[in-house]
Structure 1
Amino acid sequence: MHGRASALGAATVLNALATGVGSAFAIDVETRASVELDDSGAVRGDVAEDPDADTRLVERCVERCVERFGDGEGGVVHTESDVPMAAGLKSSSAAANATVLATLSALGVDVVDGEGDSTPVASDTMDGDGSAITRLDACRIGVAAARDAGVTVTGAFDDASASMLGGVTVTDNREDELLLRDEVDWTVLVWTPPERAYSADADTDRCTRIAPVAETVADLALAGRYTEAMTVNGFAFSAALGFSAEPAMEALPDAAGVSLSGTGPSVVAVGDAEALDAVRAQWDGRAGTTFSTETRTDGARIHD
């Protein structure tokens, strides 16, 4: 009983900490997971990049899949990733999605297009014995596991849905409801300073104080004005979470949009590749790492 899958990293349009409504878009960095199920009844995880990493999230993803579709199996889940950990680029969501899809594959569960995907699936497509699941519901398994593991405050359904479905999504994380999915085509520039920040440690009280700004950002995102939304979000949440706005200032006016991603510390700019060269010239002078990538619209996938 073996399964393999990959899922995408993502970046922020709207941080959900203020109101529960969030938005993110998928980028071309991946986390890969392999799952081997056995009759041990216990799940063990390991992370290629960090042998001492906390593996509760991926282990809980396997457990939740087995609870719903399996018969008490245990096993081993192994992940490896191009997504920097604790950098605001949705490494947890990518790991959860990849692990869920790999586990479902190992269990022989079909993952089908459905709510939020390009091809709707009628309710009678789902087998009565639970042998099929939509991609968005598979995503919800990982979100529930993230809450179980305590790695997220909001549940991060916005991040997880972008990672799973590709493109840009807007969600209500309080209900795990997809409000919008759209496709975007941007060059993406990411600057990550040396420090790391963990979503579960974010000061939620300070974030809720900027709820009126977040509501404006949500309106912009729902109207398809994603780059404007992310720029407003970036300045507001940099202030709320105690990050400097200087990297974002350096990106303007060359970038179409720029934001602190998640709870930081990465800053992400989007736009035309040539215009972002000027931003890179600024960010390359900063401590940390800068890299260029692209948006992705295909989302997470199972590998044969």
Structure 2
Amino acid sequence: MDGQAAAPAAGTVLNALANGRGSAFAIDEYTTATVELAAGADVEGTVAGEPDADTELVETCLARVTGRFGDGQGGTVRTESDVPMASGLKSSSAAANATVLATLDALDATDEVTREEAARVGVEAARDAGVTVTGAFDDASASMLGGVTVTDNTTDELLAREEREWDVLVYTPPERAYSSDADVTRCRQVTPVADLVAELALDGRFGTAMTVNGLAFCAALDFPANPMVDAMDRATGVSLSGTGPSYTAVGTREALETLAGQWAEYDGTTWLTTTQTEGARVL
């Protein structure tokens, strides 16, 4: 009873910490999960290259899926990723989605649940594991479904999904930032701005929404706005991604290649990718 799946990372349009509404877009970088199930076995997770990583999330995903769609089997789940952990690029959502799909694959049960519902299984596991404040259905839905999604994370409702063919520039500083450590009180103080961003996103004005979101959350979470200012006259949109520390800019390849040279002057890594519209998949 083996299964394997991959799920893409994502960038932020609207951070849901302020008003419970969020928006994110999938990018062409992946986390892969490999699951092996066995009756009566303990559940054990590992992360390639991260021997001390917390594996409670993926273990909870496996247990939830086998409890709901199988016979409560245990087993192992191993994840490997091109997405840096705790970087604001939705590595937890990608790992959860990949694990849920890989476990369904191992059970031969992928036809028993929609992709939207599969994303909700991962969100429930994330809440159980305490790795998210909002439940992150915005991030999970973008990763699972592909494209750009807008959600109400208080009800796990998908409000909108659209596709955008953007090039994407990512800048990741060397430090890590865990969303569960974010100052929620400060984030909720920018709710009036987040309400505006939600309106822009639901109107399909994702680039403007990103930029307004990024300025508000850089201030709320005490991240520098310099990378955003660098991008404003070139990118379609730019934002702090999640609760940081990464920044993402979307637009044309030519404009982002110019911006990449400027972002490369900061400590950390800068790389170009694209949006992804297919979402997570069984391998």
TM-score bracket for this pair, using the shorter chain length: over 0.9
**Residue identity matched to 1:68:** R
Q: Which runs of 5+ in 1 are unaligned?
A: 112-131
Partner Cα separation in structure 2 for residue 101 and residue 134 of structure 1: 11
**Deviation above 3 Å: which 4+ runs of structure 1?**
none
Specify the SS of the correspondent of 1:228.
helix
Pick aligned residue for 1:217 from 197, 205, 211: 197
Q: CA deviation at 1:101?
A: 0.2
Question: How big is each residue's C-alpha offset from its partner over 1:188-228, in whole Å with a ceiling of 9 and x where there is no partner?
Answer: 00000010000000000000001000000000000000000
Alignment correspondent of 2:219: 239
The residue identity in structure 1 corresponding to 2:88 is: G
In the aligned structure 2, how far is the partner of 1:39 from the partner of 1:138? 22
**Aligned mates of 1:277, 1:33 — CA distance in 2:** 32
CA contact (8 A) 1:192 1:265 kept: yes
Contact 2:207 2:237 in 1 (8 A): yes
Q: Deviations over 1:134-156 (max 9, x none)?
A: 00001100000000000000000
Given the two structures, how large is their TM-score scaled by the length of structure 1? 0.92
TM-superposed deviation, 1:51: 1.0
Q: Does 1:71 align with 2:75?
A: no
Contact 2:35 2:75 in 1 (8 A): yes
166-175 or 34-43, which deviates more:
34-43
- What fraction of aligned residue pairs are identical, expressed as a percent? 65
- 2:235 paired residue number: 255
Aligned to 2:264: 284
Decide whether the 8 Å contact of 1:41 with 1:72 is kept in 2. Answer: no
Letter in 2 for 1:45: G
The reply on whether 1:35 has 2:15 as its aligned counterpart is no
Give the root-mean-square deviation of aligned CA atoms: 0.6
SS at match of 1:235: helix
Aligned to 1:45: 45
- Give yes or no for contact 1:61–1:96 (8 Å, CA) kept in 2: yes
The whole-number CA distance in structure 2 between the counterparts of 1:257 and 1:173 is 23
In the TM superposition, residue 110 of structure 1 has moved relative to its aligned partner by 2.5
Distance 1:262 1:214 in 2: 13
- Inter-partner Cα distance in structure 2 for 1:49 and 1:224: 39
Deviation (angstroms), 1:253:
0.4
Letter of the aligned partner of 1:202 in structure 2?
A
Unpaired segments ≥5 residues, structure 2: none
Q: What is the match of residue 226 of structure 1?
A: 206
Letter in 1 for 2:29: V
Partners of 2:110 and 2:89 lie apart in 1 by 28
- Corresponding position: 1:297 with 2:269: no
How far off its partner does 1:273 sit? 0.6
Q: Which of residues 160, 173, 177 is equivalent to 1:197?
A: 177
Cα displacement (A) at 1:42 = 1.5
